[in-house]
Structure 1
Amino acid sequence: MCSCLFRLLQLFSTCVAFSLVADMGIRRGAIGNWSMSFWCVCFVVTLIISIIDVCELWSRFRYFWCNFSITYACYATLICLSASIIYSVTYVQFLPYGPYRDRAIAATAFSCIASVFYALDVALMRNCYDFDDVTCYAHTMPGLLKVLETFMAGVIFTFLSYTSLYLDRPALEWCVAVYSICFVPAALAIVLNLGKWQRRLPGPFPLFQLVLSLLSVLLYVSALVLWALYQFNEEFGGQLQRSSDMGCISGLTYNLCFWDRKLTVAILTAANLLVYMADMVYWARQVSVGTRGQSNAPDPFHSQEVSLQSSVSP
């Protein structure tokens, strides 16, 4: 299969990045452990997918497998890229010159290489399965938006691993609840499209997505406003200046200080809000097109099913 070369390079890159950081011992810090865990997950999942592909165990569920493989490659691209950026910005640059710094730089480089190979896999994998008449969900605009929504929410959850950032503060607890509430429908939409179960919903799928995206935009707006007020406004108990957080002053602490975590969550919230807004605009356009007398036209997401049925009909 034409993707075998990419898979080997992905396995090699993630394995080297994982090994270099693991060899640093206690000096790898919390950020190193975080990055190392993601490289390890990418290596294991890629290995499992490679074994299934080589043994051709996917032949009985080929359409689901095509969508799943490409969707995973999208997530792996984002995971390796984000790990490279976060690891280098928050940790590597603070290391003193020496062998540990060289290993950290090499691990970052191999993580970037892995993200490139995963991105190439996303672009070329569709041709590997020879599905000229099937549009994989991750290759569509709403599919990519859903991948970004769930990925950014996952990164936000990672930075919220320290519960002291929001516990016993109802406004901030509401923000965490918003991230969870919006993550579930986005992940559900991906699962429904991977299994072609979206038509089992009681109503039109575009309208269902429009309502969810509109609700998510409203919830994320509230989360962005409340998070900024209660984390960075001194009148609400926040810290406006980074220097006010004593944990951020002491150089390399092998961990992100609380103020940096707060700022990162705020940036990711704003970015994810933009993604949800783009998703809402897309589905609003789909619904408006459907209400202008084009209800008999095939849905963009189900065109592959229509083409498959027409190809087998006499």
Structure 2
Amino acid sequence: MITMCSSSGLLSAILLGYFLRLLQLLSTCLAFSLVASVGTWMGAVSNWSVFIWCFCFLVTLIILIIEFCGLQSRFPFSWYNFLITYACYAALLCISASIVYPITYIWFFPHGRSQDHAIAATAFSCIASVAYASEVAWARTWVWLGVITGYMVTVPGLLKGLETFVAGVIFAFIIDSHLYMHQPALVWCVAVYSICFLLAASALLLNWCDCDNRLPIAFPTFLLGLTLLSVLLYTSALVLWPLYQFDEQFGGQPKRSSCNDGLIYSLCTWDQQLAVAILTAINLLIYVVDLVFLAHMVFSRTEDQLRGSQFPLLYKS
């Protein structure tokens, strides 16, 4: 009876996964098709949104082909970890496109076909976001049931993915070097964002390639050290970036300068500086939550090991 239940549960999980991926495929395809069909694909923000939808469509299509052909076992890494990692990043990417694209474009289009297509593309982007987020929730459910395993469906894994995503958004805002090259303190902030991104990405890659058990220390302890270092680095960036960008005594600009009216394709410099400051605070908060969770995990495990090592002594006495 247990075997039959587990088999039916696994079959249901596979069918639900196929349904979600087909929904992801359809919604992302319609999103970029609607934008491209009426000539609303213009400017940096629109290019970024279309790239997100095309990228998610292409990767999801490749995943479906691999699963239909049964080629998962040919890859030298955990296939489920890859699927969960991709679903997490795709959900975040589609959510960002669903927010940034309508704010930047819809309200500036005149009423008509272009605006209708932009609204429809945003709606399908939201559907894709829900579909990818549902896949993550689906994966967490089956981890609890013991059907599949994966680091990315745990709280530390999701937080690590969120940390790298926020860092990627920060990189998008600081792509213009004139924002920071005039001050060594701001260059240090950019170095902080890069170092912390590489640390978090390396932790994800170690687990994705099943190399976490080859470390000389336990993987949670290793993550705790990386996260503590990242918290200290991000704290310095949270102090220095607003200080040198918005304080006149340090050459900053406390007030927003006027930008061109009309259809906005790029943010003002002051807006970019403010966005980086806000994202720095958000990512620091995520790192602090990650640090607290990892510290609780490591110290709880240490206490359990100490209690286990004391049992033989008690029995000997």
TM-score by length of structure 2 reads: 0.85
Cα deviation, residue 61, structure 1: 5.4
CA RMSD of aligned residues (A): 2.3
2:90–2:132 Cα contact (<8 Å) kept: yes
Please name the residue that 1:266 is paired with.
Answer: 277
1:283 match: 294
Q: CA deviation at 1:184?
A: 0.8
2:219 corresponds to which letter in structure 1? F
d(CA) in 2 for partners of 1:130, 1:181: 34
Segment of structure 1 superposing worse, 3-12 or 56-65: 56-65
- Counterparts of 1:126-137 in structure 2, within 5 Å, are 132=146, 134-137=148-151
Q: Which residue, out of 54, 57, 62, partners 1:40?
A: 54
1: CA distance between counterparts of 2:88 and 2:304? Answer: 35
Aligned counterparts of 1:132 and 1:122: Cα–Cα separation in 2: 15
Is 1:68 the counterpart of 2:79? The answer is no
Within 5 Å, which residues of 2 pair with 1:14-29?
Answer: 14-25=28-39, 28-29=42-43
What fraction of aligned residue pairs are identical, expressed as a percent?
Answer: 59
Letter in 1 for 2:266: N
Could you say which residue in structure 2 is the equivalent of 1:124? 138
What is the deviation of 1:99?
2.2
In structure 1, C-alpha distance between the alignment counterparts of 2:29 and 2:182, rounded to whole Å: 41
Unaligned runs of 5+ in 2: 1-13, 309-317
**1:164-221, CA deviations, whole angstroms, 9 ceiling, x for partnerless residues?**
2112321111111111100111111111222221111122222211111111011111
Q: Given the alignment of the two structures, is residue 81 of structure 1 paired with residue 95 of structure 2, yes or no? A: yes
AA partner of residue 206 (structure 1): P
Instruction: Please say if residues 38 and 79 of structure 1, whose CA atoms lie closer than 8 Å, have aligned partners that are also in contact.
Output: yes
Q: Note closer, same or farther for the CA distance 1:36–1:290 as it changes in structure 2 (3 Å cut).
A: same
Q: 2:187 is aligned with what amino acid? A: E
1:292 aligns with 303
Q: Paired residue for 1:151? A: 165
What's the secondary structure of 1:132's corresponding residue? coil
| Structure 1 residue 249 displacement after superposition | 4.4
- Given that 1:27 and 1:254 are in contact with CA atoms closer than 8 Å, whether structure 2 keeps it comes out as no
Please tell me whether the aligned partners of residues 77 and 210 of structure 2 are also in contact (alpha carbons under 8 angstroms).
no
Report the alpha carbon displacement of residue 71 of structure 1 after superposing the two structures with TM. 1.3
Offset of residue 68 of structure 1: 0.7
CA apart distance, 1:274: 0.5
Q: Give 1:293 deviation, angstroms.
A: 4.6
Q: Following superposition, which runs of at least 4 residues in structure 1 exceed 4 angstroms of deviation?
A: 60-63, 125-131
> Separation in 1 of the partners of 2:26 and 2:95?
16
Q: What amino acid sits opposite 2:25 in the alignment?
A: L
CA contact (8 A) 1:66 1:129 kept: no
Q: What is the CA–CA distance in structure 1 between the aligned matches of 2:209 and 2:101, rounded to whole Å? A: 35
1:162-181 matched pairs, under 5 angstroms: 162-181=176-195
**1:131-280 to 2 correspondence within 5 Å?**
132=146, 134-242=148-256, 244=257, 246=258, 248-280=259-291
Cα pair distance change 1:202/1:45, threshold 3 Å: same
Which consecutive unaligned segments of at least 5 residues does structure 1 have?
298-314
